[in-house]
Chain A
């Protein structure tokens, strides 16, 4: 980390003009009017349409594939199978276990086997029916327990010969001793079911090979750079002959952060046919592509002293990874590494095992790897509070880690507004006067959490910057920002526009943002781990300040004044001390161009060296952490088991809110998503591995009608290293919504729900068990 990576908290001149004020998204109007172009909107002359043949078996060896009849069908231009692209890849370079199409084995129902390009989709679909695949069925693993107990046939080959995808065991301090000596120990089993992203736009990719052999891929991806690398490797094509572009995207939530089969298939088919090829997956296929939240079985023990101070936490976690690695190595680390705040505990141990099963592959979903453990732990803290007879907010406050501290696993915490988060939700929900005094069936619950704001673990090892920005100036006053970042609807293009406009004194309509195009933009690693605002924001400040220097020094020379008198604001340049001297930014740029030649600047960001000095210590080590607290109010219908989430207060410490409107939007979206997956969503397969309902009718998601009142409360603990002090808001505010709901249900009707999802049947069963338990203790026979 160098000076270029830290820019201080202050506005470039005195007061902020744009930053911190509600702003529109720069692409809001085009999206609202329907004129934004998504991948499927793109059509090229002569374009073919491709479709994928998928495995009907959960686990099988491919004995033969006969594509001759499909090839012969009129209108078919190309048919490919795994043999055409056998090079394995994986988003994490240490675990390359995917191929564009299955080479010798299929590993879940829906696994990609062959692809056809034809004049239209109907013809491609007919051709799929003509492909004959001979399979030899293998034992299919439908539970992680089965995959642990049995090794043959292994889902993937590894040195150990088992079905374990990754195991991480880390110990910090003397855990056993802490448990022996602590007066209070809470222990229990918790589980989190699977859920998926269900972004409104399905995956889509379009490829074209031009006359010079340059391959261009347009794809709905959130990681352009990794797709670029994977394409080069799988197609065995020099990277400089490939260009990857991400058009407007209709949501991703982590579901578009792996390279996907269709990206390789359209590229290969375009090479073979010489014509542009597009593939659009339908909703059913998106459910198979999945990469959603990992189901986890979690055993937690927490030791505390009588005052409620946590002494130790011990976790054992079994993670159902589905059929491929995806980000699984990181998931396994995150499941333990991200739990060590916002509470301070002196000793900690976790043992997380991710196993393969023959189900759609799991991956990163908003709050990657840490939403599940957070659920278990925050429910356990509530149990601890009950046992101690303590207010659960007070318990959390007592353990709060605070700013400028180090977690038990060696993570450096700089800014921390967790106490303020607790205070805000306590006050806003009127906790003190309402909790415990609500009518029967109504309750309030609280939970807290912490999340990363970027990671210093670059997916492949290298010392180059993690984020880059390039600025180009036009004599009209327009500044074009070339940003590598993937705007997936979170507003990263808008964010860089706000930063550059603030620094150069421009109005937002003077900025153009060109993003996520590997030919035009500097490299950014992608939209994941809540890294974009922090890293790309810093790179944007870096580039802007270099450019500003050129402009300011030219104007100072031109006006023959000191540089400090030159002010750029609202599209104008002026002399602070002589109001008669001012000009438009267009003129200012022209003056600077005379002096410095063609104007431009680049900016970068890299993380400092972070993390504990042990294997995996850098995974989950972030330059800054965000903090959240939730209070949920729920009404439980004891006759039907229906949960009515009345209101959710979420206070989120995002550091400086660069645009409070977008931050509130992220908080609301996170709360919506968390509550929805707790109550309605369930990504399930049956015992043969068939998806239980790959449609938006069967996979029920919450709509506006089901969404509770959400109060987004922004907390700004300015981070010393974030851009103007900013951290993240996209993922953190999801976490504690779910345990806060479980805790609220306990407060309402006295049932402790440790296993998700909270369907009416689960609620009714728990209520019945509670009544039975009460009857037993009340009956005179038991009470002599």
Chain B
């Protein structure tokens, strides 16, 4: 790891003042729990001169319930504290399930929500210092014709990474918004807008976060009456592992019909993959096997697997079916 200086700002304004103005300038990096940033630095993927430690800023940690039943999560809240929060478990089961599925207890006690949403891809071409891949400013996405069993089947091109965050699909499904602060002030985006496909934005990044911006808070709207939610993650082993595929599902029923749902897939696309068309098709249909089959079929209808990851299609379909069955049967 290269030597660096560490800044301990006292406020968000001070922190953003230390950040570079342009995305191409990577001399400074934000540090939260360090579970991703430090591994990147140890592998020489990033070599900042300045590390801005958000942990010295008061009030970015912890959750607050608003009177309308919505939940505000500070960016520095650890995954471990989310996972153990009984009131969140009652209101947003998918969020707690997603948090609990991440890494190991040791990592979750340091890892933060803000860091989780801003973590970088796990594609092994990206993570290997030896590959000048597209995500590191190179000209090619090696996974397209190389080893791609963990890569994208939806929304790929020109980069085929999958977004590794488990919180992201759950929070997108729950309709969360994020608050971003920069020297220009504050803005709020839906989390869904926050993530960008490589074909739509800067291929070096996964989000719309500006170079001098910090994600400060996440707001999860109050659950609608009768709202149910689930997060299912499929890993190759039971110990810590990234998902091969994941499904976040939030729905409400109306008698024996599905009133509405939000279906978001994880680990299959460069962003949390919202299945808007499928959601629309499903709304108002009677619950039952037919609905489950339609959901599984339609959500993956556009999948374009690479040479080694075709298995993700039936795998994700299986998870979608399990998710609907768990919430409606």
B237 within 8 A of A: yes
Scan residues 548-591 of chain A and give those whose CB is less than 8 A from a CB of chain B.
none
* Set of chain B residues within 8 Å of A639, measured between Cβ atoms: 314-315, 317-319, 321-322
The segment from B238-246, B254-262, B275-283 that touches chain A is B238-246
List the count of A-B residue pairs having beta carbons below 8 Å apart.
64
- Chain A interface mostly: loop
Contact of A705 among B127, B238, B308 (CB under 8 A): B238
Q: A38 at interface (Cβ–Cβ under 8 A)?
A: no
Whether B146 sits at the interface, judged by CB under 8 Å, is: yes
Instruction: Assess whether B321 is in contact with A680, with CB atoms less than 8 Å apart.
Output: no
Q: Which residues of B contact A642 (CB under 8 A)?
A: 234
Asked whether B236 lies within 8 Å of A759 as measured between CB atoms, the reply is yes
Closest to B318 in A: A639
Task: Give the bracket for the number of chain A residues in contact with chain B.
Answer: 20 to 34
> Chain B contacts of A765 at CB under 8 A?
311
**A residues less than 8 Å from B308 (CB atoms):** 761
Contact between chains at A706 and B239 (CB < 8 Å): yes
Asked whether any CB of chain A lies closer than 8 Å to the CB of B147, the reply is: yes
* Least distance between B80 CB and chain A CB atoms (Å): 17
Is A680 a contact partner of B314 (Cβ separation < 8 A)? no
- B37: min CB distance to chain A, Å: 15
Contact A764 B311 (CB under 8 A): yes
Which A residues are in CB contact (< 8 Å) with B128? 690
Q: Which residues of A contact B237 (CB under 8 A)?
A: 679-680, 700, 702-703, 705-706
> With the chains together, A704 CA to B239 CA distance in Å?
8
Chain B CB count within 10 A is highest, among A640, A641, A686, A706, for A640
Is there a chain A Cβ closer than 8 Å to B124's Cβ? yes
Judged by a CB distance under 8 angstroms, whether A693 is at the interface is yes
A692, B124: Cβ atoms closer than 8 Å: yes
**Measured CA separation A36–B319 after assembly (Å):** 48
Residues of chain B contacted by A686 (CB below 8 angstroms): 146-147
What residues of A have a CB within 8 angstroms of the CB of B244 in the complex? 760
Q: Is the CB of A760 within 8 A of B146?
A: no
> Which residues of B sit under 8 angstroms from A759, Cβ to Cβ?
236
- In the complex, the answer to whether A680 meets B124 with C-beta atoms within 8 Å is no
Q: Which residues of A contact B319 (CB under 8 A)?
A: 639-640
Asked if B205 is at the interface of the complex by the 8 Å CB criterion, the answer is no
- Cα A637 to Cα B319 in complex, Å, equals 11
- Which B residues from 113 to 159 make CB contacts under 8 A with A? 124, 127-128, 130, 146-147, 149
Q: In the complex, what's the smallest C-beta–C-beta distance from A550 to chain B, in angstroms?
A: 55
> Which residues from 278 to 306 on chain B have a C-beta closer than 8 Å to any C-beta of chain A?
none
Q: Which residues of B lie under 8 Å from residue A764 when comparing CB positions?
A: 311, 314-315
Residues of B contacting A761 with CB < 8 Å? Answer: 149, 308-311, 315
With known contacts A640-B315, A641-B311, A760-B234, A698–B124 Cβ distance under 8 A:
yes
Interface size on B, residues (CB 8 A): 25
A637 and B236 alpha carbons, distance in the complex (Å): 12
Q: Which chain A residue has the least Cβ–Cβ distance from B322? A: A639
Taking the complex as formed, is A56 at the interface, i.e. its CB lies under 8 A from any CB of chain B? yes
**Docked CA distance A702–B236 (Å):** 10
Asked whether A427 is an interface residue with its Cβ less than 8 Å from the other chain, the reply is no
The CA of A459 and the CA of B147, in the complex, are separated in Å by 40
Could you say which residues of chain A place their CB within 8 Å of the CB of B317? 639
Cβ contact within 8 Å between A56 and B239: no
Contact of B236 among A56, A687, A690, A700 (CB under 8 A): A700
Chain B residues lying within 8 Å of A693, measured Cβ to Cβ, are 124
| Residue interface bits A698-742, CB-to-B below 8 A is 1, else 0 | 101011111000000000000000000000000000000000000
**Residues on A with beta carbons closer than 8 Å to the beta carbon of B147:** 684, 686, 692
B162-211 residues with Cβ-Cβ distance < 8 A to A are none
Could you tell me the distance between the alpha carbons of A152 and B317 in the complex, rounded to whole angstroms?
48
CB distance from A280 to the nearest CB of B (A): 16
Q: Which residues of A contact B322 (CB under 8 A)?
A: 639
Q: What string of 1s and 0s marks CB contacts (under 8 Å) between B203-242 and chain A?
A: 0000000000000000000000000000000101111010
Min CB distance, B107 to chain A, in Å?
11
Which residue in chain B gives the minimum CB-CB distance to A759? B236
Docked Cα-Cα span, A640 to B310, in Å, equals 13
Kindly state the separation between the CA atoms of A693 and B147 in the bound complex, as whole angstroms.
11
A768 within 8 A of B: yes
- Most B CB atoms within 10 A — which of A759, A764, A768? A764
Given contacts A698-B127, A764-B314, 9 further A-B contacts (CB under 8 A): A640-B315, A640-B319, A641-B314, A641-B315, A684-B147, A686-B146, A690-B130, A700-B241, A760-B234
Can you report 28 A-B residue pairs in the complex whose CB atoms are below 8 A from each other? Answer: A637-B318, A639-B315, A639-B318, A639-B319, A639-B321, A639-B322, A640-B234, A640-B315, A641-B314, A679-B237, A680-B236, A686-B147, A692-B124, A692-B147, A693-B124, A698-B124, A698-B127, A702-B239, A703-B237, A703-B238, A705-B237, A705-B238, A759-B236, A760-B234, A760-B244, A761-B309, A764-B311, A768-B314
Q: Which 8 A-B pairs have the closest CB atoms?
A: A639-B318, A761-B311, A703-B239, A705-B238, A705-B239, A706-B237, A640-B318, A706-B238
